[in-house]
Amino acid sequence: MATAVAEPASRPDTRGPTAPLPLSLFAAGAAAIAIVILGTLGIQAYQVVNGGPVTPACEAEGIEARLLGAEGVCHIIEGIRSRAQTVVWLLGIVLGAGAAAGGWGLYKRMPSKRQREQCIAGAVLGVQAIALSALLLWFRSGEIAPFIRNFFNAEVLAGTIDGFLRGMLNTVKLAFAGEVGGIMIGLLLAVLAISQRRTVRAPALVYINFFRGTPLIWQLFFIYAIILFGFGIQIETFTAAVLVFSLNTGAYAAEVFRAGIQSIERGQVEAARSLGMTYTQAMRYAIVPQAVRRVIPPLMNEFVILIKDTALVIVLGLTAENYELYTFSREVYSEFSNGSAFVATAFGYLAITLPLIRIVNAVEHRLRSGLTGVVGAGG
């Protein structure tokens, strides 16, 4: 058994010394991007704290003081249009251009790896600062007043926190129920789909292809209609949505399970069968426990996709207590004729999906970094 050689407490740094020139190029690039981002946010923060009443310029563009949240909207607009903001973006472009030109021109001549990397990093950051500033300047040249009024009105959101949180909860509920149902359907389908017998395999493959090959929004609509009018069953839209998500996820999960099972070396089944185990026993005790570890990351990816796809239930129309995030924002829009909740919704989805994405990446990394995840203790 090989025992890894203990790593030295700190790895020796072999990248060589730095020098003033590459260091200042790096600093220029970093400063450029920092000025653009922090400067823009800083100006907005200043406006929140020190901004005055609605200005005549805002009034002229239809942001009248009597409207809900007019002051806040005007603050944002005035901030974007301020001279300070122009200075910030131009400064970002000038500094960024300096760093980009210097870094790009000089990196090949640097004597050490560290100096070369500092030149390159400075140039890259400089380009990013230029791109971001240019994009924001372009944005500002358009009709920003109606856009800000429609999507960045904090007062509209103020009273909707409860609805927002309920929307998040319902989004998770819908996706989770759909995923659990989908995993069960997927397991069954996978068992059928890997059968040697065509008669067993065929219906499963038809199912899988159908649900993978048609739009989810169509499935939601049509299956709901079939249940309601075809079978004549009075079903809640929420329940119908969970059912359709399960049916749809089942098709994808089946493919995941099938791939997972087929990725286990043939020798494993042979070993189990030659010990006298039945096909079912071989699957249950030898193959599936190994496959499970491999299907976790792709199943979690499916879950993340399903979380976002819950937005499609809007076509069925949920009852108020079941509003998920997207329906919630649409309802806020109807009530206030204002789309600020759509912006908030993005953060709601991200708050759910980002942690999951991080977990998937960590699990994948663990499985990939040698056998520890696959073989490790337990099981």
Partner 1 sequence: MNPDGSLVKLENVHKWFGPNHVLRGIDLTIQAGNVVVIVGPSGSGKSTLLRTINLLEEPTEGRVLFDGEEITDIRTDVNKVRREIGIVFQSFNLFPHKSAKENVKLALEKVLRLSDGEAEERAMEQLSHVGLAQKGDAYPGQLSGGQQQRVAIARALAMKPKLMLFDEVTSALDPELVKEVLDTMKKLADEGMTMVVVTHEMGFAREVGTRLIFTDGGKIVEDGNPSEVFQNPKDERFKSFLSHVL
Is residue 345 within 8 Å of 325, Cβ to Cβ? yes
CB nearer to partner 1: give 270 or 335.
Answer: 270
> Among 78-86, 98-106, 158-166, 287-295, which window interacts with partner 1 (CB under 8 A)?
287-295
Minimum distance of partner 1 from residue 370's CB (angstroms): 9
Nearer to partner 1, 226 or 271 (CB): 271
Q: Interaction with partner 1 in 254-283: which residues (CB under 8 A)?
A: 265, 267-268, 270-278, 281
By C-beta, is 195 or 361 nearer to partner 1?
Answer: 195
Residues 312-371 within binding reach of partner 1 (CB under 8 A): 371
The least distance separating partner 1 from the CB of residue 184, rounded to whole angstroms, comes to 23
**Between the CA of residue 236 and those of 11, 218, 241, 280, 315, what are the distances in Å?**
61, 18, 9, 38, 13
- Annotate each residue in 30-49 with x if it binds partner 1 (CB under 8 A) or - if it does not, as one string: --------------------
Q: In the stretch 222-261, what mask flags binding to partner 1 with x, by CB under 8 A?
A: ----------------------------------------
CB closer to partner 1, 24 vs 281: 281
CB of 363 to partner 1, least distance (A): 16
Distances (CA, A) of 288 to 113, 185, 265, 379: 49, 16, 12, 11
- Taking the complex as a whole, the smallest distance from the CB of residue 296 to partner 1 amounts, in Å, to 14
Least distance to partner 1, CB of residue 301, Å:
23
Rounded CA separation 46/122 (Å): 29
Q: With binding defined as CB under 8 A, does residue 286 bind partner 1?
A: yes
CA distance 64 to 330: 24
For the beta carbon of residue 298, count every other beta carbon within 10 angstroms. 18
Closest CA to 287 of 306, 308, 272: 272
Kindly state the smallest distance separating residue 6's Cβ from partner 1, in Å: 19
Name which of 111 and 376 has its Cβ closer to partner 1: 376
Among 147, 176, 338, residue whose Cα is nearest residue 249:
176
The distance of closest approach from Cβ of residue 167 to partner 1 in the complex, given in angstroms and rounded to an integer, is 41
Angle between helices 288-309 and 237-262 (to 10 degrees): 140
CA gap 292, 288 in Å, rounded? 6
The least CB distance from residue 75 to partner 1, in Å, is 60
Distance set, CA 207 to CA 175, 212, 251 (Å): 21, 9, 7
CB count within 10 Å of CB 163 equals 19
- Of these, 150, 290, 301, 353, which contacts partner 1 (CB under 8 A)? 290
Q: How far apart are CA 87 and CA 65, in angstroms?
A: 29
Structure-block tokens of residue 19: 């020098």
How crowded is residue 88: how many other Cβ atoms within 10 Å of its Cβ?
21
Interface ranges with partner 1 (CB under 8 A): 1, 265, 267-268, 270-278, 281, 285-286, 289-290, 293, 371, 374-377, 379
